[in-house]
Amino acid sequence: MHKIIPSVFIFFICISSLFAQQPNKPKASEIFHDLQKLNFLGSALYIAAHPDDENTRLISFLANDIHARTAYLSITRGDGGQNLVGPEIRELLGVIRTQELLAARRTDGGQQFFTRANDFGYSKHPDETLEIWNKDEVLKDVVMNIRRFKPDVIVNRFNHRNPGTTHGHHTASAMLSMEAFDLVGNNTMYPESVNEFGTWQPKRLLFNTSWWFYGSKEKFEKADKSKLVEVETGNYYPALGLSNGEIASLSRSMHKSQGFGSTGTRGSQTEYLEFLKGDFPENKKDIFDGINTTWSRLENGQAIGVILKALEENFNFKNPSQMIPELMKAFDLIKELPNGHWKSIKLEEIKNIIVSCSGLFLEAVANEQNVNPKGDLKVTIEAINRSNANIQLGSITSPCIAFPVSFKATDLDKDEKYTLESTENTFSGTNFSTPYWLKEKGTIGMYHVSNKELIGLPENEHEFPVTFNLAIEGRNISITKNIIYKYNDPVAGEVYQPFDVLPEVTSSIPEKVLIFSSNDSKQIPVKVRAGKDNVSGTITLQHPKGWLISPDHQLFELSKKGEEKTILFTITPPKNQSEGYLKTLVNVGDQFYNKELIQIDYDHVPYQSVLLDSEAKIVRINIQKKGEHIGYIKGAGDAIPESLKQIGYKVTTLLPSEINNKNIEKFDAVVVGIRAYNTVPEMEFKQEILNQYVFNGGTVLVQYNTRHRLVTKDLAPYSITLSKERVTDEFSEVTILEPNHEVLNKPNKISSTDFEGWVQERGLYFPSEWASEFTPILGMNDKAYPESKGSLLVANYGKGHYIYTGLSFFRELPAGVSGAYRLFANLLSIGK
Ligand SMILES: [Zn+2]
């Protein structure tokens, strides 16, 4: 098969997000921009931790103003963030945020790389981060990315010197960059990437600082700036019709899942870069000072520069194809250069400029969005030359599909569309389409990728390539396109999607965590979906010991591709506490399938098919509870109501307008969702009602809120002060401060084992001060931090109980953590 190399893609500015999936069709002014870039031989690599950390102003400035080859190395794919556009979280959110970064780079002109590190959630300190990530492996990936991209300048987003003042991932990204800078030139360090890409020493390492890192604008004014490089990044680019600030905002606005829409700015804007390592720049206004970034950087390069600079000076905007003869002279000279890093990059760039100048359009379109391995696929080729350039299509080759052997080399005459269909039944693709880093099971901190060639790449590249072997003005030039799928939407018009290979059958258990709080059986729906017409077989559920599934297997029959059926299984739990996974297994003929298909479809990123193991966690909890009917006031959104229903509570969700004395008196407890006091303005006027309800004998349980932007400070009958205190280590020891307190004893006896198996963190935004009426129940802390006692506070008020907790029940209950359920049931049972 083909060797996968990171694409040396040509620069383009793609302004409309709706067309992010459309092929690039550069205007004359954009080709001019590409030519300016062809004439700059320098590279910059920006390093930070997450999608959205990157300063798009600086990336756009490097790519569009300086015309440098610019890339952003994001250590993670942002799997741990929140999703404001849909239900995907964790790894699936990482898929969306990867695509958002690619969309951002298509907009600002950069390239995108990653390491295998997983964004496992918030960490306070880089020490914790680097332990969970496996520091050596992430450093190895950073070193490999630098050796492959070969930047002259590396720019860190974060300060490596202030651990503990920001997200641990942020500081860790800067620390890794500092360390990597000293290792990349050493051929004894990480020899695997030395063999592949050679060693490399960047000229300097800078830190993209700002007044924020100095504490205030006043402090920054007074600070010593002798080590700061200062660049003006507010320029306007006539060829693109946009200012740098406008491009930066368009790029930043691609982070839609994080709600980072941003409005463009115009006018001057200074960026500061603190010198950290390497050669100090004498000209403190030039990031590339002391680096030859012209064609004379290469042996025999000067003559190429003379030709291409002249073309840039006298660019033919009216008819770019008239520049092809001069471009060809430069192309020939580049081909004669000794093999090396810049030669392959510049050859690819000039090739794409020649193609753009000739208005050459090449495409390989599948007749279906997806087929099964070796499935019935028809690919139609379109090739058209829209200039007077002399172009011949010599052959069309592909490792995955054949074209008629009768094909003869053909001239592509101006505006004469050439089409060709692939030979029937020749598609040989067998690899399922799914993001490469999700193919194998990783750890909490690291993705596992066996195929070393893929590590660092943003996504699978050219999985289904078709190569057009052309002769343009007598020179052999090959252009490879990936097979794509497109269709006409009555509203959106032409819609492009990636072409995929998918299994004949996929299956799923829609409920991902199933809680059994008694010996009772439950009927569980399982879905089976056809990946082709007329498919039938059997489906079984694999399960842990002690659990009973009935029936043992079931038959299914589906007649249409895409059709889905729901099949019911009865699950009986064991008598004692137990947990494990249910996995579906579908048998068709002699093939077995165990994947679930997840389709991610948003306007701002290309359509994605993701195949994950089809499974659900099953948990049998020994749990007692008092009370039955819970009122739930929704905050920023969490799945606590669904979790409570699973253990037998009746839950009624209350709109703010429904919170009145009469409505809530019937509930055994009222639970307030996460960040309700941050996001629901009406809460300011409802507190009196909640307090009265408690006074009369009710229980109110309030989950975490952040201390900023509270709609009211009076969120309890007694005074309480929220803070930033959090415990991010989910394994940290929990001290029981009040062993005899009701919430630790009735109806469930809580012990240290109930704090085992928690996920992501213990809790966040704990109160730091509270009135003496509150009893702190638990103590906990992260390594090297003082103990927090504010994670769970209980107070009597009148005849009832008020509870404030920053414990992250909103993560633990949906993840099926037994101990969290038992403790939550006790909180709801208090006083009953
Ligand atoms: Zn971040």
HEC sequence for 156-217? ECCCCCCCCCCCHHHHHHHHHHHHHHHHCCCCCCCHHHHHHHCCCCCCEEEECCCHHHHCCH
**What is the mean pLDDT of the segment spanning 371-387?**
97
What is the rounded average pLDDT of the residues 25-45?
A: 97
Distance (Å) from CA 756 to ligand 1 centroid: 28
Residue 77 CA to ligand 1 center (angstroms) comes to 10
Give mean pLDDT, residues 638-667. 95
Asked whether the predicted pLDDT for residue 567 surpasses 90, the reply is: yes
Tell how far the Cα of 352 is from the centroid of ligand 1, in angstroms: 35
Q: What DSSP character marks residue 223?
A: S
Instruction: Tell me the C-alpha distance between 131 and 144, whole Å.
Output: 20
273, 232 in Cβ contact below 8 A? no
> And the tokens for 530?
């056809």
As a three-state string, the secondary structure of 654-688 is: ECHHHCCHHHHCCCCEEEECCCHHHHCCCHHHHHH
Can you tell me the mean pLDDT for 502-515? 97
**Alpha carbon of 127 to ligand 1 centroid (Å):** 16
Q: Does residue 15 come out as left (phi exceeding 0), alpha (psi in the -120 to 50 range) or beta?
A: alpha
| Helix 341-357 vs helix 324-336: crossing angle, to nearest 10 | 160
Ligand 1 centroid–CA 768 distance in Å is 26
**429 burial level (CB within 10 Å; 0-12, 13-18, 19+):** buried
Distance CA 217, CA 226 (A): 17
Distance, CA 322 to ligand 1 centroid (Å)?
47
Residue 816 Cα to ligand 1 midpoint, Å, equals 28
CA of 81 to the centre of ligand 1 (A): 9
Instruction: Give 221-230's long-range contacts (Cβ < 8 A, gap of 24+).
Output: 225/272, 227/274, 227/275, 227/280, 228/272, 228/273, 228/274, 228/275, 228/284, 229/272, 229/273, 229/274, 229/275, 229/281, 229/284, 229/285, 229/286, 229/287, 230/270, 230/271, 230/272, 230/273, 230/284, 230/285
Q: What is the pLDDT, as a whole number, of residue 462?
A: 84
Q: How far is the CA of 83 from the centre of ligand 1 (A)?
A: 14
72 CA distance to ligand 1 centroid (A)? 13
Cα–Cα distance between 790 and 794 in angstroms, integer? 10
Tell me what the pLDDT averaged over the chain comes to: 95
Tell me the CA distances in angstroms from 184 to 69, 179, 181, 190, 340, one per residue in order: 19, 9, 6, 9, 18
- Distance between Cα 170 and ligand 1 center (Å): 6
Q: What integer pLDDT is reported at residue 5 of this predicted model?
A: 42
Cα(201) to ligand 1 centroid in Å equals: 27
Q: How far is CA 641 from CA 122, 629, 644, in A?
A: 25, 11, 5
Q: How far is the CA of 174 from the centre of ligand 1 (A)?
A: 12
Q: What is the Å distance from ligand 1's center to 94 Cα?
A: 13
How many angstroms does the Cα of residue 826 sit away from the middle of ligand 1?
36
Distance 88 CA to ligand 1 centre (A): 19
Is residue 315 a contact partner of residue 32, using CB atoms and an 8 Å limit? yes
| Residue 210 CA to ligand 1 centre (angstroms) | 16
Q: Which residue has the tokens 């009772």?
A: 520
Dist. CA 91 → ligand 1 center (Å): 16
Distance from residue 293's CA to the centre of ligand 1 (Å): 32
Strand, coil or helix: 470: strand
Other CB atoms within a 10 A radius of the CB of residue 710 amount to: 16
Counting residues of the chain whose pLDDT is more than 70, the rounded percentage is: 97
Q: How far, in Å, is the centroid of ligand 1 from the Cα of 164?
A: 14
Structural tokens at position 113: 């790389």
**How would residue 89 be classed by pLDDT, with cut points 50, 70 and 90?**
confident
Mean per-residue pLDDT for 127-143? 96
Task: Report how far ligand 1's centroid is from the alpha carbon of 776 (Å).
Answer: 32
Query: Residue 34 — φ and ψ, nearest 5°?
Result: -65, -35
Contact 121, 78 (CB under 8 A): no
Q: Could you read off the pLDDT of 532-562 as tens digits, one per residue?
A: 999 999 999 999 999 999 999 999 999 999 9
CA dist 285 and 271 (Å) reads 10
What is the whole-number distance in angstroms between the Cα of residue 447 and the centre of ligand 1? 19
Instruction: Report how far residue 596's alpha carbon sits from residue 503's, in angstroms, rounded to the nearest whole number.
Output: 10
Position 17 scores a pLDDT of 37
Q: How far is the CA of 824 from the centre of ligand 1 (A)?
A: 31
**3-class state of residue 646 by DSSP:** helix
Q: How many CA atoms lie within 13 A of 21 on its CB side?
A: 22
- Give the mean model confidence (pLDDT) for residues 274-295: 97
Distance 76 CA to ligand 1 centre (A): 9
219 alpha carbon – ligand 1 mean position (Å): 24
DSSP annotation string for 93-121: HHHHHHHHHHHHHHHHT-EEEE-SB---S
Question: How many whole angstroms from 619 Cα to the centroid of ligand 1?
Answer: 34
Q: Which region among 81-95, 493-507, 592-606, 718-732 has the lowest average model confidence (pLDDT)?
A: 81-95
Distance, in Å, from the CA atom of 66 to the CA atom of 546, rounded to the nearest integer, reads 66
Q: How far is the CA of 215 from the centre of ligand 1 (A)?
A: 19
* 816: pLDDT strictly greater than 50: yes
> How far does residue 171's CA lie from ligand 1's centre (Å)?
10
| pLDDT tens-place string over residues 568-594 | 999 999 999 999 999 999 999 999 999
For the segment 242-258, the average pLDDT, to the nearest whole number, is 95
Backbone dihedral region for residue 493 (phi beyond 0: left; psi -120 to 50: alpha; all else: beta) = left
For the chain, percent of residues with pLDDT exceeding 90: 92
pLDDT at 209 over 70: yes
Mean pLDDT, residues 763-783 taken together: 97
- 174 with 207: CB under 8 angstroms? yes
CA–centroid distance, 604 to ligand 1, in Å, is 21
Q: 53 alpha carbon to ligand 1 midpoint, in Å? A: 5
Task: Please say if the pLDDT value at position 119 is more than 50.
Answer: yes
| Cβ contact 778:791 at 8 Å | yes
State the distance from the centre of ligand 1 to the C-alpha of 597, rounded, in angstroms: 29
How remote is the C-alpha of 586 from its chain's centroid?
30
| 49 alpha carbon – ligand 1 mean position (Å) | 6
Q: Write down the H helix ranges in 244-319.
A: 244-252, 302-313
Ligand 1 centroid–CA 372 distance in Å is 39
CA of 153 to the centre of ligand 1 (A): 22
Q: Is the pLDDT of residue 696 over 50?
A: yes
Question: Whole-prediction pTM value?
Answer: 0.91
Alpha carbon 392 to chain centroid distance?
42
* 211 CA from centroid of ligand 1 (Å): 18
SS3 33: helix
Report the separation in Å between the CA atom of 119 and the middle of ligand 1, taken as the mean of its atom positions.
10
**Cα-Cα end-to-end distance for the chain:** 68
Residue 810: alpha-carbon gap to chain centroid: 22
What confidence category does residue 20 fall into, taking pLDDT thresholds of 50, 70 and 90? very low
Measure 446 CA to ligand 1 centroid, in angstroms: 17
Q: State the Cα angle at 549 between 651 and 502, rounded to 5°.
A: 90
Which amino acid is residue 426, in one-letter code?
Answer: T
The pLDDT tens digits for 468-480 are 999 999 999 999 9
Q: For residues 432 and 502, is the Cβ–Cβ distance under 8 A?
A: yes
Residue 814 exposed, middle or buried by CB count within 10 Å (0-12, 13-18, 19+): buried
CA of 702 to the centre of ligand 1 (A): 28
The rounded Å distance from CA 52 to ligand 1 centre is 7
Q: How far is the CA of 172 from the centre of ligand 1 (A)?
A: 11
Query: From the CA of 242, how far away is ligand 1's center (Å)?
Result: 27
- Mean pLDDT (whole number) for 221-241: 95
Contact 277, 181 (CB under 8 A): yes
Read off the tokens for 531. 């990946």
Q: How far, in Å, from the CA of 148 to the mean position of ligand 1?
A: 24
Mean pLDDT of 752-764: 95
Distance 151 CA to ligand 1 centre (A): 23
Confirm if 726 and 764 have CB atoms less than 8 A apart: yes
What's the sign of the alpha-carbon dihedral 745, 749, 753, 759? negative
Quickly list DSSP for 336-363.
HSPSSHHHHHHHHHHHHHHHHHTT-EEE
Q: How far is the CA of 747 from the centre of ligand 1 (A)?
A: 42
d(C-alpha 280, C-alpha 190), whole Å: 27
Going from the Cα of 51 to the center of ligand 1, the distance in angstroms, rounded, reads: 7
Checking if the pLDDT of 8 tops 50, the result is no
Band the pLDDT of 332: cuts 50, 70, 90.
Answer: very high
Ligand 1 centroid to residue 444 C-alpha, Å:
18
How many whole angstroms from 58 Cα to the centroid of ligand 1?
17
Do the beta carbons of residue 586 and residue 541 sit within 8 Å? no
Confidence band for 81, pLDDT divided at 50, 70 and 90:
confident
What is the whole-number distance in angstroms between the Cα of residue 122 and the centre of ligand 1? 9
50 C-alpha vs ligand 1 centroid, how far in Å? 5
Q: Which two tokens stand for residue 668?
A: 């055994």
Reported confidence tier of residue 9, pLDDT bands at 50, 70, 90: very low
User: Ligand 1: distance of its center to the CA of 165 in Å?
Assistant: 13
Contact 163, 171 (CB under 8 A): yes
pLDDT value, residue 585: 98
Instruction: Give the whole-angstrom CA distance, residue 422 versus residue 399.
Output: 13
CB 533 within 8 A of CB 372: no
In this prediction, residues 253-277 reach a mean pLDDT of 94
Band (302; pLDDT cuts 50, 70, 90) = very high
**Contact of 690 with 659, CB cutoff 8 Å:** yes
Cβ-Cβ contacts under 8 Å for 751 (sequence gap 6 or more) = none
CB 628 within 8 A of CB 650: yes
- List pLDDT tens digits, range 391-422: 999 999 999 999 998 888 999 999 999 999 99
Q: Does residue 551 have a cis peptide bond before it, meaning omega lies within 30 degrees of 0?
A: yes
